[in-house]
A and B are shown apart, each in its own frame.
Chain A
Amino acid sequence: MTLGWIHPGLVLILGAWVLPLLRGRIKRAAMLLLPAAALVLCLASTPGTHGVVRVLGQELVLGRVDATSLVFACVFSLMACIGMVFALRVEDDSRHITALTYAGSALGVTFAGDLLTLYVFWEVMAIASTLLVWQSREPSAVAAGFRYLLVHVVGGLALLAGIVLHWSRTGSLAFEDMGAFSGGAAWSLILVAFLLNAAVPPLGAWLPDAYAEATVTGAVFMTAFTTKSAVYVLIRGFAGTELLVWLGAAMAIYGVVYAVLENDARRLLAYHIISQVGYMVCGVGIGTELAINGTTAHAFAHILYKALLFMGAGAVLQTTGLRKLSEMGGLYRTMPKTLGLYMVGAFAISAVPLFSGFVSKSMVVSAAGETHRTAVFLMLTLASAGTFLHTGLKLPYYMFFGREAHRPPDRRGREPPANMLAAMALAALACILLGVFPGLLYPHLPNPVDYAPYTLQHVTSTLGLLGFTALGFFLLLEHLDPEPTISLDTDWFYRRGAAAFVKRIQRPLARLESGTVGEIYEFVIRRPVLGAATLLRRFDSVVVDSALVGAGRSTRSLSRLLKTAASGHAQHYGLLMAAGLLALVALAMLAR
């Protein structure tokens, strides 16, 4: 193993296990130091191939460092820092270990240069994130976590199958672009696995299901890693795949449509993750230099502003216990700072000029424009309007303003603790900095950047788009009132459908098992055998009786001896066997 480069992911995973041994201030310091150390290691990494190991006769690359992997790794580490600040006051150590393991394995996926390493970290991510869902301990969370686990196991199995097929065909485990194998079984399986983690419909219903049930602090971590690491591996392996363009555009709209109907605040934001990741998937599909840059930049910005949004909604959940929009309102009075920071995130996601979304999302949309994809361009722009509609208008309106319903005093909410506000402020700062100085990010993007976001045309049309979306919102306000309903999503197939299917198979199987086979056993084997045994016993006693007349006593004592042998006392059997075995061996040795 080449020295000189320490894997930031391993620092997080292994370092996390030190936390339970520490106490008080030192523990808190460690909680912040670990991700900070990871970030420093990422920033200090030099491009190249590090951490090469030989396992199972294959060469595994643990540290493939280049522009693409570095930028993702840096934002993942930064996110881990912000997340730990947000979770600083959580007492439960297992949550910290899980969160850091999750972040660390995401880094592992990012730096993986071969498919086997990728697979190992992929599975660790799935397990760690499942634990994050389960840790909220509500019955609904336990059920949602189990569904999440099974879905990700399926994804993992598809990935494994694809890797095994790929290795058989090519003899190499290297993780490179898979365009050459387009359409093959291995290609399809690996793509499906990646798409599942990226929450592409119809494989994405797990995301709103689980993210709304996770703990307040856990959900913040979850928004960043699973989907964005999936985007990263899509960039690596499937850049330029035409299918992704359409999947991405459809995804962007799908998320927005479902968000209109949503009542649960975090579920609504979760559907928006799907929508925003749609932009990224679309960008990967377009595959031009600008598109890949846009995807990367958008992923970077998205991690930060989505975390901010979830932190805001999580803060509301924590201080008021409310999660349904139909029950919230009037919190602007008691939580103004949260509102303000939340709005920074909302403006960022809506691509308001001077915020991070503006300089990143527009790259993808422009790339669609450059390649003359009219429909895609229109779809993505429509989704932009929709994003602002929900995240920038509907959510804050109903969460913080909205109906002035009567509320018991303690549910009025109050500002969350200082560490949560600090975490939100950090993320908000990043969103603004990136928006005002895109030059901070652009040089680190995979391809050379030849794009200027702040053109007059672009700024004014964006402002128009957003402004008139707001107009539409206020005009149609009555129609938007959130209703206490849930929406059917593709998870119906495995929630209701699969359960019913399995039950239908199980009943006849169980009946076969205990019924038919059991009955065969009963009538064909057990009864005849026992019957024969009883017969023999009766015959035996008759013989003994009649023999009493004749050879009499000797026979009787013989049969008594036999009965003792058949006493069922296994010590005797054992002794007999052991004695017999010894005799056999002795015989054999003598006979040689």
Chain B
Amino acid sequence: MVTSSVLPPLAVLAPALGALLIACTGERRRNLREFWSVAAGVAQLALVAWMIPDVLESRTPACVLIRVLPGIELGFRADAMGLLFALGASLLWIVTSFYSIGYMRVLEEHAQTRYYACFALALSATIGVAFAANLFTLFLFYEGLTLVTYPLVGHKETAEARAGARKYVIYLLGAAKVCLVAAIILTYGVSGTLEFREGGILPAGKLAEEPVLLFVIFALFLFGFAKNALVPLHSWLPAAMVAPTPVSALLHAVAVVKTGVFSTLRVFLFVFGPYAMREIGADHLALGAASVTIVVGSLLALGQQNLKARLAFSTVSQLSYILLGGALLNSSGVLGGTAHITNHAVSKITLFLCAGSIYVSTHKTEIGQMSGLARRMPWTMGAFALASLSIVGIPLTSGFVSKWNLALGTVQGHSLVLLGVLLAGSLLSAAYLGPIVYKAYFEKESPLETADTEVREVPWMVVPLSISAAASLLLGIFPGPVLELARRALP
């Protein structure tokens, strides 16, 4: 049941307002500026959380702002899936804000105002995607997100950073402009509307007449949302590692990548719908692409010696778990995939925050340098170990909850091959995360290191990453809330 409510657009507006305030405050009054970041985050969280009771009782808060053409309007809608995504994003933004403060101040980075302002705008765009009621709105905010994160990726302004940011923008904008626009226009042509509806918006007649056209549209969507990092359009993700680590944490856990998979899931379930997907064989394409990405991403991760690069490829692989779940089109699969949006976000952000903490305290970036690190940075490595367990999917962690449901989904879908892909991904993630943990704890430091100056963990950074690590554990022991919301994605 749809109820009219101004809360969804307000939730989008709050961080934008925050960005404005941040830009106006500037570097002179740093503490006030940081306060605006946190305040905007809290406001956003509050606005989003306000809608929880409604959504749980199946009342969908919605709001249409502008009608451009019949069927094309700027509209917002907060359903369970969008709410789950928005909640995770809002919470993690607050955590990352504190972390950013620590990171930026210790490293005495330049252009901090630009950084915080763009960060806030990125969150605004993310919530815009989460609460988009139709493809038009989604597309607007999706593209906006790319533009707004471009200065964040290229923050360091070195030649390397500029090259990385350029690749980032070209991949994402390129894929969107080439594929997505065409897909959206074609969808409008076929169905006369761009609204998201449960079960899809494609008319049954078209399904019978022109399955090939619909398949092509689907493929355009699948690869157009390049933020979902499907192979072979995944290279923007490792290229974006030139960004400062809080940006990587945001990109790879919360905003950009999850926007990609979220949008893709929206297309699976609310534009095409399970019936249409199966009819035209789109689910096979999606399952195949996701499986390849899971395996290839993990294998590439194994070969990386740079910590952030390894985590980037790990993200490429883990994102396709979500797509795999969605493409299974059965209750357990979709439940697992949707839940993984949150569960993976919490674990991955911990890993990246730890990488940043290591860099700030020791300036180390390569895995080979990390022998014996656990003695000097116990909190950081402890959080890292816990989050790694979650990515591998050990019971009592959040990753296990998703993995269990995804496994059930593959069995419900009668595919042992997909089950095998899932489990291979687990094994490979143990293989590429294990060495980091055992090096840090059980290998002896090289003698050159021990003579080094004091290594101290930065509290501003350690507290946030401990919180997210604890969340990985808590969501694994008490998965109820996440599962409740995720369950409603496919009623």
> Which of A's residues lie within 8 Å of B, judged by CB?
56, 119-120, 123-124, 127, 134-135, 137, 139, 141-142, 145-146, 149-150, 153-154, 157, 160-161, 164-165, 167-168, 185, 502, 505-506, 509-510, 513, 517-518, 521, 525-526, 529, 568-571, 573-575, 577-579, 581-582, 584-585, 587-589, 591
Contact = CB atoms under 8 A, between A and B. Distances in A.
Nearest to B232: A517
Contacts of B430: 149-150, 153
Contacts of B170: 521, 525-526, 529
B343 to A, nearest CB: 15
Nearest to B174: A525
Given A153-B430, A578-B17, A591-B66, A164 B408 contact: yes
Interface of B is mostly: helix
A573 B151 contact: yes
Nearest to A165: B411
Interface string B426-465: 1100110011001101111000000000000000000000
B438 A145 contact: yes
18 contacts: A124-B396, A127-B389, A137-B442, A145-B442, A149-B434, A161-B419, A165-B411, A502-B302, A506-B303, A509-B299, A510-B300, A517-B232, A526-B170, A571-B23, A573-B147, A579-B20, A582-B17, A589-B65
B438 A146 contact: yes
A160 B9 contact: no
B16 interface: yes
A577 B23 contact: no
A164 B117 CA distance: 47
Interface string B51-77: 000000000000001100000001000
Interface string B406-419: 01100110001001
3 shortest A-B CB distances, which residue pairs? A570-B151, A588-B65, A120-B395
B438 A142 contact: yes
Contacts of B479: 56
Interface of B: 9, 13, 16-17, 19-20, 23, 65-66, 74, 113-114, 117-118, 121, 124, 144, 147-148, 150-151, 166-167, 170-171, 174, 232, 235, 296, 299-300, 302-303, 389, 392, 394-396, 403-404, 407-408, 411-412, 416, 419-420, 423, 426-427, 430-431, 434-435, 438-439, 441-444, 479
A518 B236 CA distance: 11
Contacts of A510: 300, 303
B150 to A, nearest CB: 8
B302 A585 contact: no
A46 to B, nearest CB: 29
Contacts of A502: 299, 302
B113 A571 contact: yes
B427 A154 contact: yes
B114 A571 contact: yes
Nearest to A588: B65
Nearest to A119: B395
Which of B147, B151, B174: most chain A Cβ within 10 A?
Answer: B151
Contacts of A581: 13, 16, 124
B426 A153 contact: yes
Contacts of A160: 403-404, 407, 423
A120 B396 contact: yes
B407 A161 contact: yes
B442 A168 contact: no
B394 A127 contact: yes
Contact of B74 (A570, A573, A577, A588): A588
A569 B114 CA distance: 8
B386 to A, nearest CB: 11
Contact of A164 (B392, B407, B444): B407
